Amino acid sequence: MEAIVGDFEGELNELREVFKSGKTRDISWRRSQLHGILSLLKEREGDIFKALNQDLGKHHVEAYRDEIGTVAKSAKHALGNLKKWTSSKRAKLPLSTFPGRAKLVPEPLGVVLILSSWNFPFGLSFEPIIGAIAAGNAIILKPSELAPTCSSVLANIIRDYLDNSAIKVVEGGPYVGEKLLQHRFDKIFYTGGPRVGQSVMTAAAKNLTPVTLELGGKCPAVVDFLSSSWDKKIAVKRIIWGKFGACGGQACIAVDYILTQKKFAPILVELLKKYIKRSYGDNPMESNSLAKIINKKHFSRLKELLDEPHVKSSIVYGGSSNENDLYIEPTILVDPPLDSEIMTEEIFGPLLPIITLEKIEDSIEFIRARPKPLAIYGFTNNEKLQKKMINETSSGSITFNDAIIQYVADTLPFGGVGGSGFGSYHGKFSFENFSHQKAVMVRGYLIDFGFRYPPWNNKKLQLLKSGLRYDYITLVFIKLGLKSKA
């Protein structure tokens, strides 16, 4: 890999010069880099599979679904829409600007820094890279050091397939990240936890650098009583996939906990047990379909959540673990204490608390009383409840009768609100995230309204007030009649 060392200023100056040259603005350059991403995904698929399995224990089917297939889809979407996205858009003007015309011209921001996360190391690197390339920027990517094999593979394939003069990879730990943040960028895009997110914002503020923060949050699933046995089955399968099938629960948009009616909870628990066994077998540790915990630090954190007083007694399924294999069994808990850490902190693992309520409508106030989540999942066919959830809760997104699927929709913005982050991306929203919409206005000299200029008098004030009510023809006559007097 092309090493970037020292204080980075020399390398950053090189990127600034490349951007200044206009190279990255060229549409053919943008297309070539997007095609390069498609090529590396196809030709280095095996290397990506091996890296994800080594760092995260991901099965290659899960790896393709979450990190190769989605990225390829996004790159193709950007290629198919690049001409439209980069075209200027005509803007309407008020009559007072006649004769004039205006347009919005998207322009790249410059040199951008992308700090990606370890749980989806390829997907969460390439998704923002696609937006930054489509917008015409120069890029530095710093992958997470917590997935070291994936970080190394990312650095190598980007070196081999993309333009190294404009797209660079920096590997390293927190020290490297801190050194990078000491420098001026034109945009910083960070995916990760809120603690580091605060540090990113603090560093960015020194240079007034705009920031996008993709954080997390405790994403609830509100599970209403579903009368149809088919609906129950599909809902439970989607919840299991949205919890344990998303990197073993180590995903910012994974289901964090369930809210359901007390009378429905026993049925729900039995269905969850049944379909967990169908997905992962009687001994999930022997399954190759469940991702492992990223490292011993996170493993210990999850174990401490379960070992907290009164939490262990709420376990109704699972709970076993193996530190050597970084494995924790899919675990269901019913009504753990609400002040316990498992209910106050984002879980980020295969632990699924169920909180029971007297009536399902109480879920709205439960959610409102807590920080805004990245996503809310509502499993209900009750349109009245759906409407209340939309109108009375706040979250980055809300999806009914499924989980996580909103992430793959290029037509929907993906991002948080409040403590779950701000700024959004995916599809055109990624392009806009790394662009500035420059307002361009051109006027002619044929008509000029004299009452806009001093010296001021009451007659000009009246003309200014009345002029707002006149149509274009009247304004022209006003101009013609006052030209000599103004």
Q: What is the set of active-site residues?
A: 214, 252
Residue-wise DSSP of 400-432: ES-SSGGGG-TTS-EE--GGGEE-EESTHHHHH
CA Rg value for the chain: 27
Could you tell me if 333 and 322 are in contact, meaning their C-beta atoms sit under 8 angstroms apart? no
* Omega of the bond leading into 455 within 30 degrees of 0 (cis): yes
Residue-wise DSSP of 113-175: EEE--SSSTTHHHHHHHHHHHHHT-EEEEE--TTSHHHHHHHHHHHHHHS-TTTEEE----HH
Residue 340: C-alpha distances to residues 184, 304, 309, 344, 353 (Å) = 41, 11, 8, 6, 11
Positive or negative: CA dihedral 7, 8, 11, 17: negative
| Residue ranges in 190-228 assigned as alpha helix (H) | 194-205
The C-alpha atoms of residue 486 and residue 479 are separated, in whole angstroms, by: 9
Look up tokens 């190759």; give the residue: 288
The total of other beta-carbon atoms located within 10 Å of residue 61's CB is 11
Residue-wise DSSP of 331-391: EEEES--TTSHHHHS---SSEEEEEEESSTTHHHHHHHTSPPPSEEEEE---HHHHHHHHH
Contacts of 262 by beta carbon, 8 Å cutoff, 6+ apart: 356, 357, 358
The C-alpha atoms of residue 264 and residue 250 are separated, in whole angstroms, by: 27
- Angle, vertex CA 149, rays to CA 145 and CA 152, nearest 5: 80
